[in-house]
Structures are given as structure tokens and as C-alpha cells.
């Protein structure tokens, strides 16, 4: 009996409308399809916060590996993510402690990440 291949099991969950849009934009161009799908790799809320909280809230200190979050970091994360996603702050706080979230949240955070990067690039 063979163990399941972890790499082969990596699929991206996309809303049907988004998949249809991507396929219509890249029809006949397989390289562009790979680029679109690579850009839409879901982003974890903790990963998003580590990248953008220091930029959005410059006075908030980042947590160090293996230590508790500094004062104000979790509040800044939950408030910002609540504003971006529309979810309640208590729900978002659970995401940092292992509660599952809908796959579209990861895609939404990746999209915000790309938008903010583009915005910084254009400044």
C-alpha cells in the first residue's frame, strides 16, 4: 500500500465564477493560466498579518518566533482583517488558534496582498 502523495493532493479551491473568468482570459495560453493560479495561492491570515500589519499599523511590534504576541498585535490583526473580510473580530481571532476558515478567505487575503503590493509599487 502506498502513502498518498502530498504534492499531488494540493488543489486550489476557487469559486466557480472565478475559475470560469480565469479560463476565459487564458484560453489557449497555458503559461498565463499557471501564472493566474500561482497568484491566487491562498494566504493564511497569520501570514497576511506578518506582512501587512507593520505597514498599516507602524507602531505595532511583530511577534517573535515562539513568544507571545506583543501588546496590540492581535487587536491590530483582528480589527484590520475584520474590516477587509467583513467577519466578526471574535471569529477572526479563532483563526489564529486553529479554527478553520472558508477557503475564499485565503483567496481574498491573497488578492488584498497583491493589491497592496501593486499600490506600493505605483507610489
- Taking alpha carbons only, the member of 61, 101, 63 closest to residue 82 is 101
> Is 111 found in the same domain as 54?
yes
> Is 61 found in the same domain as 4?
no
Label residue 9 by pLDDT band (50, 70, 90): low
> Is 50 found in the same domain as 27?
no
Number of domains in the chain: 2
* Residue 17 lies in domain: 1-41
- Per-residue pLDDT reduced to its tens digit, 105-116: 998 999 899 889
> Is 54 found in the same domain as 71?
yes
> Is 100 found in the same domain as 83?
yes
> Is 80 found in the same domain as 37?
no
> Is 33 found in the same domain as 76?
no
Q: Which residue has the higher pLDDT, 22 or 91?
A: 91
Q: Is the pLDDT of residue 42 over 60?
A: yes
Amino acid at each position: 500500500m502506498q502513502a498518498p502523495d502530498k504534492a499531488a493532493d494540493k488543489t486550489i479551491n476557487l469559486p466557480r465564477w472565478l475559475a470560469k473568468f480565469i479560463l476565459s482570459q487564458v484560453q489557449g495560453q497555458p503559461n498565463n493560466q499557471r501564472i493566474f493560479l500561482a497568484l491566487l495561492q491562498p494566504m493564511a491570515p497569520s501570514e497576511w498579518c506578518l506582512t501587512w500589519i507593520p505597514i498599516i499599523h507602524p507602531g505595532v511590534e511583530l511577534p517573535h518566533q515562539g513568544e507571545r504576541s506583543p501588546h496590540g498585535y492581535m487587536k491590530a490583526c483582528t480589527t484590520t482583517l475584520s474590516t477587509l473580510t467583513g467577519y466578526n473580530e471574535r471569529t477572526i481571532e479563532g483563526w489564529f488558534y486553529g479554527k478553520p476558515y472558508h477557503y475564499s478567505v485565503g483567496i481574498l487575503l491573497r488578492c488584498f496582498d497583491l493589491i497592496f503590493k501593486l499600490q506600493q509599487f505605483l507610489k
